[in-house]
Amino acid sequence: MILTIDALLDAEERGDIVIEGRDGYNLFSLDLHLEKLYRHKDRCPKAVGDGADHSDAEYIASELEEVEIPAWGMIIEPDDFFLWQPRERMTLAGGYHGAITSRSGWARLGVRVHDTSEELRPSEERRSFTPLCALKAGGTRVFIRRGDSMAQLYLERGIGHVPNWRLRMMILDGTFTVTRKGIIPPLSYFEHPGGMQLTMGPQVHIYNPDRILVPGVPHIDDFRAVSIETPVRLGRGTFFLSASAEYVEIPEGHCGYVSQGGSVMSLQKYMRTGDPRFAPQPFLSHADAPYIGPKNIFHGNITFENLLLDDYTLVAGMRQSEFFLVPLLGDGKKYRGESSYIGQTGAALSRL
């Protein structure tokens, strides 16, 4: 279960969680701010978390060199790969684990963030650390500055999601709203062994590779809207925004989690059976901003950030992703706010 603001504050009072230098909590996450940026010293570096017995500090000292971020900021290119640390330092008691992902507004600019720290994995040990994270632009050119809040931290106790049969029952009894053109999904949406299927809506926004994406400015000229109601062929490396054809309202006390095209369970089924319905998609989709808030902070069509791994033809109604429903710990009543994307219809550009 993912901790809401109530559970996070209670854990802080008990001393189970300490996060130095933090801003206020969101409903079930915390924004993290870019402080130190690194690149590998070696062209063939050892992988982060490669199984060797070393801490993040030891890895940084032996494998990385710090990149100076100019006062005015810098541009990251599609082929760049960095590691970075936030200003926030954290202490977690045993039994807590977590994940760091891109904030939604940054993901819509192609920014891909994920944690690499072993200290965020499930553990029964108390540990103090500044997490080490990966950073790259997925097919875009993006302007960044020190202090940018490009990532979010999620903390959990236990693991698991609502099973598909229960998800289907929640939709039928009205607890969970999922509709496509006003109609609830057919049983075929639940055939995937992972989560519920989501499909691609009728329009996408394709990134103009000549543009530099600057957070906080309008992006209407950085993307072009294209209908895919008739098939459209795009080239490898294309970054585009799409939206689920399905409208969702996630029940309070839960959040959504979307896979990057297909779940591990579907991939395993494809490898066993060869059934093309479960084949992996040729694009990374929403891979680094996978959490969707409940209906009190978001409802609408879910925007997906996509990077094509090969030349491919898009068409409305194709499989986009798999959706999982994840329970939240705490009622979240101490949070007042809503997503800037609430009520969105179709793919929404970044609103940082």
One-character DSSP codes across 221-236: TTEEEEE-SS-EEE-T
Query: The tokens of 258 are what?
Result: 């979307």
Which range (35-44, 181-190, 268-277) has the least confidence?
268-277
Q: How far apart are CA 28 and CA 155, in angstroms?
A: 8
The pLDDT of residue 11 is above 60:
yes
Among 1.20.1050.10, 2.70.40.10, 3.40.50.720, 3.40.140.10, name the CATH number for the domain at 2-156: 2.70.40.10
Q: What is the pLDDT of residues 110-126, one digit of tens each?
A: 999 999 989 999 999 99
Judged against a pLDDT cut of 80, whether residue 130 lies above it is answered with yes
State residue 274's pLDDT score.
64
As to burial, measured by CB atoms within 10 angstroms (0-12 exposed, 13-18 middle, 19+ buried), residue 65 is exposed
Average pLDDT, the chain: 89
C-alpha triplet 244, 248, 250: angle, nearest 5°: 135
Residue 240 or residue 287, greater confidence: 240
Q: Which CATH number does 164-329 carry?
A: 2.70.40.10
CA within 13 Å, CB half, 123: 15
Q: How confident is the model at residue 333 (pLDDT cuts 50, 70, 90)?
A: confident
pLDDT the model gives residue 14: 97
Q: Which residues contact 279 (CB under 8 A, 6 or more apart)?
A: 262, 270
- Of the two residues 116 and 33, the one the predictor is more confident about is 33
Pairing of β 141-144 and β 212-213: parallel
Confidence of residue 187 (pLDDT cuts 50, 70, 90): confident
Q: What percentage of residues in the chain have a pLDDT greater than 90?
A: 68
Distance CA 173, CA 226 (A): 36
Q: Quick check: helix, strand or coil at residue 63? A: helix
Alpha-carbon gap, residue 116 to 114, rounded angstroms: 7
- Look up tokens 């989560």; give the residue: 195
pLDDT band at 55 (very low <50, low <70, confident <90, very high): confident
Amino acid at 96: Y
Model pTM above 0.85: yes
CATH 2.70.40.10 domain residues, the chain: 2-156, 164-329
**What percentage of the chain carries pLDDT values higher than 70?**
89
Q: Calculate mean pLDDT across residues 88-94.
A: 97
Residue 270's pLDDT band (cuts 50, 70, 90): low
pLDDT at 54: 65
